[in-house]
Structure 1
Amino acid sequence: MGRQNVIVGTAGHIDHGKSALVERLTGVHPDRFKEEQERGITLDLGFAALEIDETTISFVDVPGHEKLIRNMITGATGIDIILFAVDATEGIKPQTIEHADILSVLNIETLIVVLTKADKVSEDLLNRRLSEAREFFNRFTYPYKRFLTVSIYDQHSIDNLKKTLYECSGLISSRYTSHDFLMRIDRSFSVKGAGTVLTGSCITGQIKTGDDIEILPAGIQTKVKNIQVHSKNSLSASAGDRAALNVTGVDKNNVHRGDIAAAPKVFSPAASFYARLKTFSSISKKDVIKHNKSYRFLIGTYAGEAKIILLEKKSLNAGESALCKIVPYKPYTPLFGEAFFLRSLSPQITVAGGRVLSITNFGLAKNNLLTLLSCMENGKAEEAFKVLETNIEGTFDIPTLIQFTDKKSDEIKHLIKKYFISAGRTVTPRKYFSKITDMAKEEIYSGNTVSLSGYHKYFKNSENIWKIFRENLIRLAEKNGYTYENEKIFKKRKSEHEKLADEIYEKMSQDVSLSNAANLSSFLNISEKAAANALTILANKGKVKKLDEKNFIRTDIFDNFIQLAVKTAKQEQYIDLKKAKTIIKAPRKILIPLIEQLDKTGLFTNKDNKRYLKGDETAEF
């Protein structure tokens, strides 16, 4: 299976044995606070780890009672496997149902349902509880489900659970993939003599001691002094790890639960974002989701109020869904596909869940935005890019990959190249770029003097895209005989000398023997001085190449000869005067200096007037 880190989240009704089960598996009780030990419940997230071969299985043991459901949602975010505890003496309970509804939103593929306290019931009751559990959990579409009975006093059942956890660890596929580090922060505290420590689950990438990180949304820049992974000192932490980062120069009071620690200048906090929202089928009529109303909003390790703006309807009844805009009371840094939950403010029950589809509207009109969100939701990345290309004029930034899509990097790079002109993460649609280019070309070709500064407004939000447009336009203009000077493009009248040079250039393509001033003078009935002056103009423009003291050849013909000479030498071991005649029809006065030019390329070695490609000199010997 190879080295991997797996996060297992435990869930279930209060006192159904989750913490005791984790302690039996790992030897570590996940309750961290004295109050928890005294009350016998898990108030906040508890963490413990189990090592099996090369797999580290971290357990996120979360609360099971209603008042602390917020922490349960926090612990459920970022996990790979759900370990769901159901007390065999009690069976399915109210928070069993609520936890199951919440977890069904998280896109976790593997569910292990464990009937705990199996030693306290009869075999008949245990089998009945197992059947009830199967019936209840089979309503949910987890690709992988396992059902086990366990007693913490039965080593065989504990070993069987460990084996199942290890086997399920090999089934994980739905993780965020990015080389850039991101950790969801769930605690910030000070350690005497060390400073501020941030703890959380590493979602993507890797962090090493001494690395710079950024704390978002505040944008605080800091450096990592020390790292602990699963309570042990480490030089690094990676995706899947539970980590504690000791950072420099940061006041613990300036870092909050729900913030992220991340690679600098990569991720973008959002004041609002767009999502698919679905109400749970178990909610009552009075708990319907209403347009433009605020709810308790829970995502990642973040909890606070958010306004819900429904984009397709005015309200959502039980079991209904809609696209929506979410406006949290402070910025958050969401990832594409990240799950979130809504709880009513009174009474406090979890009423809906959803998944993030976009952290920006890209300036699209509502109908186009709905089309884009639908494409993103259904994995139609190319169709989404077509919506952006067709409906956006100007420049805009594409978010970093895992905030934008769940597609592979190579696929997205290909689509960006296909539909956009890009400079880093800033892009402009190719259709728009072509439209402005055509507008400028029309003005240039009309004979007017065109000021480039007049086109800056079309790309004013990105100097890098403007630079690409400007250089492309200058290149097109010069290729078509226009002049660029002082940020202006215009048609410069050619002198008689330049007109003659253009005529000679055309004649040299028809007959390579027209290679010197004397030949050209005789052929065109002009003075040798005029012909020589024209050749100098062409040489200065790089249009012709000087072969010897008298003779010139068009640069494009020369370059083609070099390419064919290399090909001939590869195929026939060498090239000489005779073989050169098969490449280009020219008199000896041209062929001899052409052959000699091969020596100046650095590609050939001359032996007895035969030119061998370097490295192949001994081919005949």
Structure 2
Amino acid sequence: MKHIIIGTAGHVDHGKTLLIKTLTGMDTDRLKEEKERGISIELGFAQLKLPSGKQAGIVDVPGHEKFIKNMLAGVGGIDLVLLVIAADEGVMPQTKEHVDIIQLLQVKKGIVVLTKIDMVDEEWLSLVTEEIREYLKDTVLSEAPVVPVSSTTKQGIPQLLDLIDQFVDDTEERNSSGKLRLPIDRVFSVTGFGTVVTGTLLSGRVSTGDTVEIMPLGTVSRVRSIQVHGKKVEQARAGQRTAVNIIGVEVEEVKRGSVLVTPNSVEPSHRMDVKFLLLESAEKPLKNRARVRLYLGTDEILGRVRLLDREEIEPNQEAYVQLELEERGIAGKGDRFVIRSYSPMRTIGGGVVIEPNAPKHKRYRSEVLEGLATKEKGTPEELVNQLLAGKQGLFSPEEIIEATGLAGDDLKISIEKLQSEQQVKCIPVDKKSLYIAQFTYNKWRQEIKSMVINYHREYPLREGYPKEELRSRKFPFINNKHFQYLLQAMEIDGLLKLHDKTLALAEFTGELSGSQQKLVQDMICAIQEGNFQPPSWVEVVKKFRLKDAESQEYLQYFLRTGQLVKLSDDELYYTADRYQQAKTKIVEYLKENKEISVAQTRDLLKTSRKFTLPLLETMDRERLTRRVGDNRVLV
């Protein structure tokens, strides 16, 4: 099942929390102060069950300007944003700041939820909708649908749920094959259990009993228990809202902004190289060494901006920048971040991390800037991983080189390293190879296994799942040749057993149950007893009272296993040994007499013309005999 996180954004008092309560039945305002003031101060969390039965986690973020840092702690791990705008007010200051943040973090899937429509008339609603579309036209939410709702009257809520359901369906599941990384957004203690940390798993997975490290603290701990959506589980995966009960760590030792990771997998740093964009809405240029607030994951860190190729950056400009942090931060290459001015606190820009652990650079050095440009593009391993994880299919070395721009030698080294780390799967093709992300291969392997198990259960008499049917239903984006290579790799791995046109699980024997075996024997005996003029298949079906679908399954089983031979007439079948006996008699007769007529064949086999002609036509088709006038001769 997919694990999707939905986040809210929007101006204070535009109805985010009430909307979530209407959607989920849960009140995400959990603090007494929040209840008294009627606004969200801390992050709130809820579970949403969609019409399709799928589940998603919802992060309710505060809209008040004073609590933007709390909003930033929750928005980083979301897959879908609900931009909430009140119909009676329209786009407001925090709406704009939240949209800037969504833009900087590149949260590309979104729905604009126009709340409080019960408080305005149709003309006003139309004007506000037009204003919203105009405002969002140059943002990542330019194509986001606008859904008018009322959390009070429930108008539009079913349509919103259906749309969310559709978005969840279209959202790709996060990759769980990497290292564990869980930015912590909340820390608390449970009596009898100890410290619990919560957050959204950005990558990897965590299981009960795992050893984990809390960074930048550096404390190693062990996982006592895990909850997802309030239910105890043995393992949580990337994309899930997760609560982890850790052993031997006091609540006071852990703060929001810490990160739960695989031990020794990351190194905290005071310096990071980034690509930075100063927003067009920034009031003035940003000078070199300006003091700023960095929002990265769930953390807020003070630091300074070192511009590497200029003295100041103008609004709506990008530049390579080195962030010098006053406390050590945790980041991964490609992480998005937001920058707010030190005072007054306003969102002024953001960007992407190029190098999480950077040495100090001298400014105005071309080699530094060129190096950052290369790193921005990615290491060879990262480029290969990104390509394979981002596209569905099998890729040849030539295709990878074309897509990434890597040199052949660099690609070879990168592939070998990724294979050793079990991040890339090699699919052998004669003397060449195709490659696929190991995560994707494992996922497809499981999906194929599940489909074939169901097929065996539904059609136990069949040889296996038709290959082309499986490809067209599940893998239409893979050409037939590559699909065959994929199946061959799964056969080598011991999952499948391949036939000419079908596939089965390796352990599938196709053995019949006791009752099926008896029925098969009885039907064969009934046909066999007819000698060279057996009952038609219709008569067999009637005798054994088979249903239409059931009769076809048994007929195909007999033909596939060679127990019956179909004559040229659609309803006539000989058992395999009767057909062999008939052929032997006719061939021996022809060796002595050179030719045989239909009547002579009828007399030889003591049968009727009804069977004789289809039998001879079948032998013609097999090129045992050929027709000459009204007679047959040996080929």
Query: What TM-score bracket applies, with the shorter chain setting the length?
Result: 0.5 to 0.7
The 2-side partners of 1:306 and 1:405 are apart by 32
Structure 1 pair 144–297 and aligned structure 2 pair: CA distance change class (3 A): same
The 1-side partners of 2:99 and 2:223 are apart by 37
Match of 1:131 in 2: 130
8 Å CA contact 2:212–2:221 kept in 1: the answer is yes
Do structure 1's residue 342 and structure 2's residue 339 form an aligned pair?
Answer: yes
User: How many Å apart are 1:422 and its aligned residue?
Assistant: 8.9
- Give secondary structure in 2 for the equivalent of 1:129: helix
Match of 1:456 in 2: none
Q: What's the CA shift string for 1:107-157, capped at 9, x where partnerless?
A: 222120011001110011011111111111112134751111001134451
8 Å CA contact 2:177–2:205 kept in 1: the answer is no
| Equivalent of 1:47 in 45, 48, 61 | 45
8 Å CA contact 2:268–2:357 kept in 1: the answer is no
8 Å CA contact 2:223–2:244 kept in 1: the answer is yes
Match of 2:430 in 1: none
- Gap runs ≥5 in structure 2: 390-394, 421-635
Q: Structure 1: which amino acid aligns with 2:251?
A: K
Match of 1:358 in 2: 355
Match of 2:23 in 1: 25
Q: CA RMSD in A?
A: 2.9
8 Å CA contact 1:276–1:357 kept in 2: the answer is yes
User: How many Å apart are 1:423 and its aligned residue?
Assistant: 8.4
Structure 1 pair 342–9 and aligned structure 2 pair: CA distance change class (3 A): same
- Give secondary structure in 1 for the equivalent of 2:342: coil
Map 1:92-491 to 2 at 5 A.
Answer: 92-142=91-141, 144-173=143-172, 175=174, 178-285=177-284, 288-361=285-358, 366-377=365-376, 379=377, 381=378, 406-408=386-388, 418=412
* TM-score, normalization by structure 1: 0.61
- Give secondary structure in 2 for the equivalent of 1:203: coil
* TM-score, normalization by structure 2: 0.59
Q: Structure 1: which amino acid aligns with 2:310?
A: K
8 Å CA contact 2:107–2:140 kept in 1: the answer is no
The 2-side partners of 1:425 and 1:250 are apart by 36
8 Å CA contact 2:4–2:173 kept in 1: the answer is no
8 Å CA contact 2:175–2:204 kept in 1: the answer is no
8 Å CA contact 1:111–1:145 kept in 2: the answer is yes
8 Å CA contact 1:191–1:197 kept in 2: the answer is yes
Q: What's the CA shift string for 1:451-489, capped at 9, x where partnerless?
A: xxxxxxxxxxxxxxxxxxxxxxxxxxxxxxxxxxxxxxx
The 1-side partners of 2:244 and 2:414 are apart by 39
Match of 1:87 in 2: 86
Q: Structure 2: which amino acid aligns with 1:24?
A: T
User: How many Å apart are 1:416 and its aligned residue?
Assistant: 5.1
- Give secondary structure in 1 for the equivalent of 2:46: strand
The 1-side partners of 2:2 and 2:155 are apart by 25
Q: What's the CA shift string for 1:9-54, capped at 9, x where partnerless?
A: 1001100000000110000011121111111100011110112235
- Give secondary structure in 1 for the equivalent of 2:3: strand
Structure 1 pair 174–274 and aligned structure 2 pair: CA distance change class (3 A): farther
Q: Structure 1: which amino acid aligns with 2:238?
A: A
The 2-side partners of 1:174 and 1:86 are apart by 28
- Give secondary structure in 2 for the equivalent of 1:240: coil
User: How many Å apart are 1:75 and its aligned residue?
Assistant: 1.3
8 Å CA contact 1:273–1:326 kept in 2: the answer is yes
Comparing 88-97 and 326-335, the one that deviates more: 326-335
Q: Structure 2: which amino acid aligns with 1:294?
A: R
The share of aligned pairs that are identical, in percent, is 34
User: How many Å apart are 1:282 and its aligned residue?
Assistant: 1.2
- Gap runs ≥5 in structure 1: 386-397, 427-621
- Give secondary structure in 1 for the equivalent of 2:170: coil
- Give secondary structure in 2 for the equivalent of 1:185: strand
8 Å CA contact 2:306–2:321 kept in 1: the answer is yes
Q: Structure 2: which amino acid aligns with 1:352?
A: G
Structure 1 pair 225–298 and aligned structure 2 pair: CA distance change class (3 A): same
Structure 1 pair 77–218 and aligned structure 2 pair: CA distance change class (3 A): same
Structure 1 pair 266–416 and aligned structure 2 pair: CA distance change class (3 A): farther
